[in-house]
Chain A
Amino acid sequence: MGLLSDPSLTPRGKFGRTLAKHSGKISLFFYIAGLAWFVCLSHPEFSHGTYLSENALSPGLVDPEIGQDSVRLAQTLYEELQRERTDHKSTTPHAWIAAKMHQIGLETHVHNFTLRYPFSAGKEYHGKNVYGILRAPRISSTEGVVYTAPYRAVNSVHTDITASVPMLLAFADFARKKNYWAKDLVFLVTEQEQLGMHAWLEAYHEGGIKDSPILRCGNLPARAGALQAALNLEIQDLDIDYIDVKIEGLNGQLPNLDMFNLVQRLTSRSGLSSGYKHTPRKKRRSNRDSLEDNLRHMVEMLKSQATGVPNGNHGLFHRYRIESLTLEAVKRTTNTNNSNRYGTALSLLKTVEGISRSLNNLLERFHQSYFFYILVQNDRFVSIGDYMPCLIALASPMFIKAFLLWLTTTSADDAAPEEEDTATHEERLPMHLPYISVLLYMVAALLLGFFCNTLPYSQHVRDYFNSMGVSTQWSVGLILAAQVLLGILLPLFYTLPEAGLELLHIGVLIFTGVALIVTGLLNFALGFILAVIISPVTILLQSEHVNGLRQKLTCIYTFLLNPMVVIYLLVLWLTLFEFPELALKDMAVRAISASLDAITYGLMDSIIYGNWLYTAIAAIYFPLWILYWTLALGRKSYAVTVDKKLN
């Protein structure tokens, strides 16, 4: 039998009792150790240098063949496209793109998709992607590589990246004249930002057979076999200052480290300044390789990964096990000598050629190197084996505390003399603890979470609010606020029987620990950040009523941890930085609507793209919060009743 029945570990042993007494300190120690471990990771001793693990990727490092004529073509296409853009203010010049692709000699197709916005009375958005396939002469269309460029209309709020399409076409024109392709090359121009990309991928892999009622992506007229890799180009201008390599994908997935290394090597060879979370030259020179810089780099990466929202069109590929990243070429703002204005465009084309030739040579899917890593610098990384311990250290206090609580709970119940048999001790144990009611209580909390997850999206609720004329944001906000209110009131409605709170405490701790570790395995960044903010509660929460101050502190901290409150505070913090000129009252009001927007976006992301952040928060962490709230509050009321009884 397991540890729990081992007689040497019952609190009758002094060891257990001592441990239980210091459980708070032990937890605190682990918490600090976890954070310290994370800080240590930024030190070069703890990270590894990157290297190309897959030898098949090296051919791209040969002398590039692409020349000045391709740059000239890109230039002419860019000018043509600029003229087209004056006629197409809010749409994509599909005809122009398709004609150019056809002229180059690609097998050109158009993909239509429709988004039926699930809220506000089913508004419909139509979109069109244009793609051309260069059929590789050396293969029977069993494998393909995708090169994509998002197109942004003139009236788009995002940065202008018009130069991507001409660059893509110039590269396609170059590739068309080569006979060494062993994977079909798909040149794809998407619109409507990530929606277009998502629709295209969905159509490629689901073929319109399993069409969701929201996004109708239909089927594609032509395919290129199993896609092996993808490269997304976001080029702001033909005159480039530096390249920012974007890697974070949907739900925090990352491309294979080999792919990142390859891009890093090729850009550096062609003389482009590039890197992950790259910043302009001047800033970078000042502080480099310092511990602080490394740590900032790591935290930046975790921050963008934690939301699970991809920071480019590449992020949607990862779900289909297609390695992909974005090259964001940032426009030069400083004026330099005009003689070599398009020198950088040539370097970029050379990089793209090198990447494509390396990918073309891949015999197997990316499987070497790392899929789970944190970049410390452009050429240093921390692998999963090194960063997981800090999450485990952050989550372990919960398990330790749960175990020690279990020991004390059983001993508190069991006032029997020491000579009593272990067997009877075990038998008597279940009689005392109110398993059923605690379980029911947890189920009730989970049910609330379930409603949070499903109600905002339910057809009837949507129809009802729509008929009332309430906007989407407010209807979602109202539903969630009602749930949260129910959650807050839950401990007041129902008081757990004696020893129920202790049992609940044990259950919650184990639940939290498991949830954090599972989240961390799926998306380390999210798991880590959640662990950092949740762990203090578990440390603060006392099994015994000690003093009022700590109790109040726990209550306040737990309240602040409420998902809604956290979102509001985050948004408020951001507003504070974005609009410092506003008065505090305005800011608070503005932050409310902004946080409602944020929640709605999270919900949309989960419905349309399959981002599970909303689901995880609503269905797992919100119920957990209710339980913590119960523990933080319930302890007090229990104490009051005890006091009353005593009186």
Chain B
Amino acid sequence: MEFGISIIFLILLYASPIAAVKESSEFNEELYVRPMANGLVNTFFQFTTRWHYGDRENLHNTQLIPRPIAETLLLYDVKELHIGLTQGLWRYETYGYPVMDNAPGAEVRAWFAGENLTSTDVDDQWVKLASTFSGILCASLNFIDKTNSVEPKYSFRPQFVTGSKANIPQFVRYASLPREIVCTENLTPWKKLLPCNSKQGFASLLNSGHVHNTNYHSLGMKMRTICESYNKNCILEFTETANMVYDPKLLGTNGDFSLRRLFGQGLNGHCALAKSSKIYVNLDDQPYDLTPTPMYNVTSRRGGSTTTLGVYDIQRLDEDKFFNIAWINKKTKANVQITPTPPLYAHRYILGHGQERGQILTQITNKHYAALPIVLQENIPWFVPSYMHTLKLIVQPENGAEYTIKPRVMHYIPGVQRLRPYHLELLFEIPALSTVQISFDFDYIFLKWLEYPPDANHGHYLGSAIITTQLPMGRNYTAIPVDKHLFADSFNASRSSYFLEIRTESLILSLPTPDFSMPYNVICLACTVVALAFGPIHSVATKRIVVEQKDAQPQSLKGKVMQKLFRRKQNKTDTNTNKAEAHAETVFGHSIADVKQ
């Protein structure tokens, strides 16, 4: 348990001393370009707006922060919000670690905190919050509800500060929609949240035609509040990120690239509202010559690794010309670059064949020379009934025989069909230089026919598993420290350990699917007709028909009266029956044969 606590231990945020009560806001735009070892290029945009709004009432008058963002703070008790819209998969083994990690599809997580806040309130607010951002980003976040949301206990830690001395209840919610397809319709509203829109500054580089031609692109949005005391003297931090991986080979070049090649146009200056507009270029062992050369270089030492970055300050440039940077391959191509393997990476896949039983296997590999603490979170949808008694953790060392281990802490909330997903969190230590396979069995089930999505034979998606750990060294690590907000703050930001979040692939599961084709409909219809016909035919076939002569008139007085009464009643209720019919009925009533069994 101690181990668990150490993982979830909150890093105290050193909220920058809030001296002036006067409200102020600043906006920074940053672009980080990192050519990767296998010829790919990673570009990372970060637009940070930091607003020292002071008290809650000031949220009504926004300047640089988009109004809907400020309003969510007024409406809900949300203190921190992360949204990721991603197309493609970040491949840790070849790309290294990203600045901001997101799972394929859409992913949302939020922290709520407030006095007298209960879990039911949060559930309600969570759905509303998701719907709000569904509208803001034109994404299907409105499909987030209780059936696909979980409440992680160990995986995430808050990055906001309420500033309160008292113990204010905090809640976290997480949901992912792996089927979500990210497209232009998400990029445009995302760009509109920026102070300069997409007309000026770095955002003008994000043209949908080029963004969606990448191997990976991920739009991120992060919002958090940092308060000195509860709801007093607060800062709202709103960060928008765009992370992309380009393949210059697909752009039709021999490996050279430039800003114009990547984004379709050069940079048309900076956003006039920005405090700083800088491009950072990774210069480590690059086989490229840069034109123009960086204005100045920065060396960052972090966790035992050194990185050199070239900096272009766009605000110092001429406004009139389009600015372009070109990376041109050096003539000497003697040394082939080898990708340094990151210390930790993970994969996930489904095993087994047939439509009866399967196995979900998560494979985490530790290439580090020391053991690492791991928190694994699995969020399994309700339509995948999993058996936790089959949960196995098998360690496969690089040299030596495999053995099983037991998780230190296990947090498991079994799913309920159509109500709640299966949520599993495991805390364990992954031994040095080894692979851990976490596997459990599940059943394939039939769904109700309305629960199949359109294109039912495409399969059902299972969201990524999230693995969090603390790395002792900073190799491959570029994330921004939790107490800072700019990308530039990650330079020389050595800490005792580095909090790392990685995600596995999302999976496609082919559940048994009925044949939703025309013959299927015909079969359904035919079966219905047969079912309807069966009743009467069965009854006719099994009942004996006995003809019984009815007496012309009932004998007793009581009988006569009853007969008259009954007839009259019938006439009254059925207004449409005309008298002639009624007459006919009385006339022919005598000879009606009773059908008796």
Residues of chain A whose beta carbon lies under 8 Å from any beta carbon of chain B = 105, 107, 135, 137-143, 176-179, 205-207, 209, 222-223, 225-226, 319-321, 363-365, 367-368
Contacts and interface: CB of A to CB of B under 8 A. Distances in A.
Contact of B88 (A139, A178, A207, A365): A139
Contacts of A367: 457, 513, 515
18 contacts: A137-B213, A138-B87, A140-B86, A140-B104, A141-B89, A142-B104, A142-B507, A179-B250, A205-B351, A207-B351, A207-B361, A209-B361, A223-B347, A225-B507, A364-B455, A365-B459, A367-B515, A368-B517
A502 B285 CA distance: 89
Interface in B323-365: 347, 349-353, 359, 361
A176 B359 contact: no
Given A319-B353, A365-B459, A137 B247 contact: yes
B456 A107 contact: no
A365 B352 contact: no
Name which of A176, A225, A363 has the most chain B CB atoms within 10 A of its CB: A225
Nearest to B503: A140
B347 A176 contact: no
B461 A142 contact: yes
B199 interface: no
Contacts of A207: 349, 351, 359, 361
A159 to B, nearest CB: 31
Contacts of A365: 457-459, 510
A137 B507 contact: no
B249 interface: yes
Contacts, number: 88
B94 interface: yes
A135 B352 contact: no
B506 interface: yes
Contacts of A141: 89, 505
A395 to B, nearest CB: 24
A143 B508 contact: yes
Contacts of B515: 367
B214 interface: yes
Nearest to B250: A179
B88 A138 contact: yes
Nearest to B38: A105
Contacts of A225: 349, 505, 507-508
Nearest 5 A/B pairs, CB to CB: A140-B104, A364-B457, A140-B89, A137-B215, A179-B250
Contacts of B508: 142-143, 225-226
Name which of B38, B86, B215 has the most chain A CB atoms within 10 A of its CB: B215
B91 interface: yes
A177 B250 contact: yes
Nearest to B358: A205
Interface in B411-458: 437, 439, 455-458
Interface residues of B, number: 43
Nearest to A366: B457
Contacts of A178: 250
Contacts of B86: 140
Given A107-B94, A139-B88, A365-B459, A209 B347 contact: no
Given A140-B89, A363-B458, A209 B439 contact: yes
B91 A135 contact: yes
Contacts of A137: 88, 213-216, 247, 250
Interface in B1-59: 38-39
B439 A320 contact: no
Nearest to B350: A226
Interface string B291-302: 000000000000
Contacts of B87: 138, 140
A603 B115 CA distance: 72
Interface in B193-215: 213-215
A142 B250 contact: no
Name which of A105, A141, A222, A320 has the most chain B CB atoms within 10 A of its CB: A141
B353 A142 contact: no
Nearest to A205: B353
B246 to A, nearest CB: 10
A171 to B, nearest CB: 16
Given A143-B508, A176-B249, A205-B351, A135 B215 contact: yes
Interface string B78-107: 000000001111010010000000001100
Contacts of A135: 89, 91, 215
Name which of B437, B456, B458, B517 has the most chain A CB atoms within 10 A of its CB: B458
Nearest to A201: B353
Contacts of A321: 353, 510
Given A135-B215, A364-B457, A206 B349 contact: no
A8 to B, nearest CB: 15
Name which of B249, B457, B461 has the most chain A CB atoms within 10 A of its CB: B457
A297 B215 CA distance: 47
Contacts of B213: 137, 179
Contact of B359 (A107, A140, A209, A320): A209
B91 to A, nearest CB: 7
A141 to B, nearest CB: 5
A223 B349 contact: yes
Contacts of B505: 140-142, 225
Contact of A209 (B94, B351, B509): B351
B247 A364 contact: no
A176 B461 CA distance: 27
A230 B249 CA distance: 26
Contacts of A139: 88-89
B449 to A, nearest CB: 15
Contact of A205 (B247, B352, B510): B352
A107 to B, nearest CB: 7
Contacts of A368: 517
Given A177-B249, A207-B359, 10 more contacts: A135-B215, A137-B213, A138-B88, A139-B88, A142-B507, A177-B252, A205-B353, A223-B349, A226-B508, A363-B455
Given A137-B88, A179-B250, A206 B351 contact: yes
Nearest to A142: B508
Contacts of A209: 351, 359, 361, 437, 439
Nearest to B88: A140
A213 B215 CA distance: 41
Contacts of A222: 347
A56 B105 CA distance: 23
Nearest to A178: B250
A362 B509 CA distance: 16
B489 to A, nearest CB: 30
B459 A226 contact: yes
Name which of A142, A143, A179 has the most chain B CB atoms within 10 A of its CB: A142
A225 B509 CA distance: 10
A226 B457 CA distance: 12
A225 B461 CA distance: 11
A629 B459 CA distance: 51
A368 B89 CA distance: 30
A135 B461 CA distance: 19
A623 to B, nearest CB: 28
Interface string B496-515: 00000000011111100101
Nearest to A220: B349
B393 to A, nearest CB: 13
A206 B105 CA distance: 27
Contacts of A138: 87-88
Contacts of B461: 142
Contacts of A363: 455, 458
Contacts of B437: 209
A226 B509 CA distance: 8
Nearest to A367: B457
Contacts of B39: 105
A413 to B, nearest CB: 31
B549 to A, nearest CB: 31
A564 to B, nearest CB: 33
A320 B105 CA distance: 27
A139 B94 CA distance: 17
Interface string B539-557: 0000000000000000000
